Amino acid sequence: MEPLIKVRDLYKIFNIGSNKVYALNGVSFDIYKGEFIAIVGTSGSGKSTCLNMLAGLEAPSKGVIQIANKRIDRMNEAQLVRFRRQNVGFIFQSYNLIPSMNAIENVAMPLMFRGVGHEERMKAAKHYMELIGIGDQSMHMPNQMSGGQQQRVGIARALVIDPQIIFADEPTGNLDSHTTADVLDLMKRIVSEEQRTMVMVTHDPHIASWADRQLKVVDGHIVETVINESSPIEIKIKEENGEPPFCEVTGS
Amino acid sequence: MRLYDLFKLALSNLKRRKTRTFLTILGVVIGTASIVVMVSLGLGMSQMMLKSYQDEGSLTMIRVYESYERNDSSEKNKQLTELTDDNVERFRALDHVVEVSPALDVSVSAKCNGAESDFTIRGVSQYYLSQLKLRECGEIPKKDQNELSLIYGNQILYNSFYKTKTYESMEIDPYKDTIFLTFPASDYSEKRSNSDSESDTVKKQKKYIIPVSGILSGGKDDWSENSYNAYADIDTLKKFLRKLYKKALVPAPRTTKNGKAYTYYVYDTIYVFVDDMNNVKEVQKQLADMGFSVNSNMEWLESAQQQLGMVQMVLGGIGGVSLLVAAIGIMNTMMMSIYERTKEIGVMKVLGCDMSDIRNMFLFESGIIGLMGGIAGLMVSYLISFIINFLTSDNGESVSMFIGYSEGGSLSYIPLWLAAFAIIFAIAVGSVAGYVPAVRAMKLSPLAAIRNE
Ligand SMILES: Nc1ncnc2c1ncn2[C@@H]1O[C@H](COP(=O)(O)OP(=O)(O)OP(=O)(O)O)[C@@H](O)[C@H]1O
Ligand SMILES: [Mg+2]
């Protein structure tokens, strides 16, 4: 089994004045198709930085990122945008719905970027909203919805383009514990049912424990990787490869 | 991304900030309107000028005079530059020349109902006559008439007859009043020996009554270069004069060295008619090179229009400044909206919206501002133009006097091309002003979407 995402020796160094901040200090790991990965760590540990580089939102200082056999680190911005349009769904902590569009238009927006016609994209949007259980709210404007409802719209928007990978940075960060559980449940269900790959960032170990595999980050290093042994996908990977997914554990 | 979706997105973004969009559009409206109105004034003026020149006389006509710069030239050369029938034929042979009409002038004194006047009877060709605009009842004198008949210029009737004693101006109606004409005495006598009968008869100042064939159109206040003359067919006039002056042909003939009157006609003016306004210059130059002194209305019109062109540029420049201000307004609005929408743009980029689509969306927004401003500005321009024309027409006599053009045409003229140009220009200004902000939006970092503030 070949990994979908391959990260090798990834560094991100910010220059603040004469100071150098090592936000990511050489990480290497593989992610396989169908996995639900949680990158977990304390604030400032470099989780978001890592995710942003995987999504091509930030350029690495050093290292290799390969997704579906394409070198993300070598693409220019226009290529990255196209790559995301074709392969990547993104769920934001603060939902980031477009306030002037209603729910279904927000969900359909990524398809609009692809040039899909109005009818067709509305149909797809409707489908995913129903899948997520907000089919009755398609005409609501973002400011008429609760945080949990907005985040569900956000999830539907990430799914609508049928992406290979979904990135989520603190997707439950603004939700209460009950809604968090609902949303995580939903995401997990979709990943396993639809064979998607999901990379989620969180600072909460409890939330991270929902994932198939956790990468624990401290000061830009991966210090521990925790595999959920009961997860079918992890069992399958182990069966096929004879070993758990590659992840270099370093540092402290 | 589909063009339709881009357009809709741009429109909905504009709708989100109605007041600001409205104010920005208002700026474009004012800019467009001022440019259009200014240019329309320039165009209207130039049109009026063209019209006033056309009223003065044909723009395709060249007047040819004998050049006096060549006084030293020998007899033979002189003959070449005299306005003779030979030269008429030479002119006729030139390219682009449609017709040539010599003009034979005789000044006469007229008496009518106790009032007196002096004017010139001008014998011209049938073609020249056919160019004259007559009042409805009149007709052009025929070519092979036996009897001389005249077309009176309208100003002769209104403004040339004065009562002998009181110097009161008097109007004449040649169809009702009898006009007695006196032809000048011949100042040529065929040697002293022959100072007998024929010159004596002229000295008696015989009065002639010559039938009216027509009157030039135009009222008391219409002037043109023709309106102070009377016109006759040149051949008929020659025949008539031959009876009066015999061999001398005309009252004041030129004489050869040995004192004999010329046996051919020398005209004061020859009119050359050219096929097109644009060829006037060329023909005029050829005539000048042949040694004649020439002028044409076209020549005056050209220099006048050159000056007017400057005025137009100044007017357009004034309008341009206000459109420039509007363009800065658009730029400012777009910059502000990008600042506000930084996060939204970031989200769109994260979700895979092409950079060029983001740029185009903003260009569409500023283009729509330009378009709407252009259309509204054009409507305002038509309104202002209408008001200007209303005030400067007969209804607003005082204003038109002030501006100096009263008769005919409109001061502000918006042709279709100007309207089309205005709208396209407004869109272009919008797009150009929106370009820098649009490129800036395109280059915004998608990370803005991730950061939480
Ligand atoms: N644009 C930047 N410029 C300079 N330093 C940055 C920048 N972005 C992140 N950093 C630094 O990199 C380190 C990692 O930041 P990162 O955002 O990845 O943290 P995080 O793990 O996501 O934290 P949190 O849980 O609070 O979101 C931090 O020390 C931060 O100060
Ligand atoms: Mg973070």
Residue A81: CA atoms inside 13 Å, Cβ hemisphere, count?
A: 24
The CA A48 to ligand 1 mean position distance, Å, reads 7
Contact A90 B348 (CB under 8 A): no
d(CA B231, CA A152): 97
Helix or strand run (H / E) with residue B127: helix B126-131
How far apart CA B315 and CA A14 sit, in angstroms, is 56
Which pLDDT value is given to residue B405? Answer: 44
Nearest-CA residue for ligand 1 atom 13 is A23
Around B36, how many Cα atoms within 13 Å sit in the side-chain half-sphere?
34
- B residues 338..377 contacting A (CB < 8 A): 343-344, 347-355, 357
- What per-residue confidence (pLDDT) applies to A150? 94
Superfamily of domain A5-248: P-loop containing nucleotide triphosphate hydrolases (3.40.50.300)
Give the pLDDT score at B311. Answer: 86
State which amino acid sits at residue B117.
S
- Please state, in angstroms and as integers, the Cα–Cα distance from residue B18 to each residue in B140, B268, B365, B430, following that order: 69, 73, 13, 17
* pLDDT score for B194: 46
pLDDT at A105: 95
Would an 8 Å CB–CB cutoff place A79 in contact with chain B? no
Interface of A with B in 152-211 (CB under 8 A): 157, 161, 169
Residue of B nearest to A170 (CA): B450
Which residues of chain B fall short of a pLDDT of 70?
55-57, 69-80, 189-204, 394-409, 452-453
pLDDT of residue A55: 93
Please write the tens of the pLDDT for every residue from B200-238: 444 557 888 888 888 888 878 777 778 889 999 999 998
**C-beta separation of B130 from B139 below 8 A:** no
Of A24, A45, A54, A201, the one to substitute when testing ligand 1's pocket (max ligand atoms within 8 A of C-beta) is: A45
What pLDDT, on the 0 to 100 scale, is given for residue B406?
45
Average pLDDT over residues A180-184: 90
**Residue A87 to residue A107: CA distance in whole angstroms:** 16
**A93 chain-B contacts, CB cut-off 8 A:** 452
**Closest CB to A85 among B352, B445, B450:** B352
**pLDDT at residue B202, rounded to an integer:** 46
pLDDT for A251 equals 66
Give A98's pLDDT tier (boundaries 50, 70, 90). very high
Name the one residue in this structure whose structure tokens are 């019209």: B51
Q: What is the pLDDT of residue B402?
A: 43
Tell which of A112, A201, A203 to mutate to test the B interface (max B CBs under 10 Å): A112
Is residue A152 within a helix (H) or strand (E), and if so which, with residue range? Answer: helix A147-159
Which residues contact ligand 1 via a Cβ below 6 A?
A 14, 16, 21, 23, 41, 43-49, 203
**With an 8 Å Cβ cutoff, is A13 touching chain B?**
no
Q: What is the pLDDT of residues A111-165, one digit of tens each?
A: 999 999 999 999 999 999 998 889 999 999 999 999 999 999 999 999 999 999 9
ipTM for the predicted complex: 0.93
In terms of CA atoms, which chain A residue is nearest residue B343? A96
Q: Indicate which of A57, A118, A160, A200 best probes the interface with B, i.e. most B CBs within 10 Å of its own CB.
A: A57
Helix (H, G, I), strand (E, B) or coil at B112: strand
At B55 the pLDDT is 65
pLDDT, position B396: 45
Asked whether B384 and B411 are in contact (CB, 8 A), the reply is no
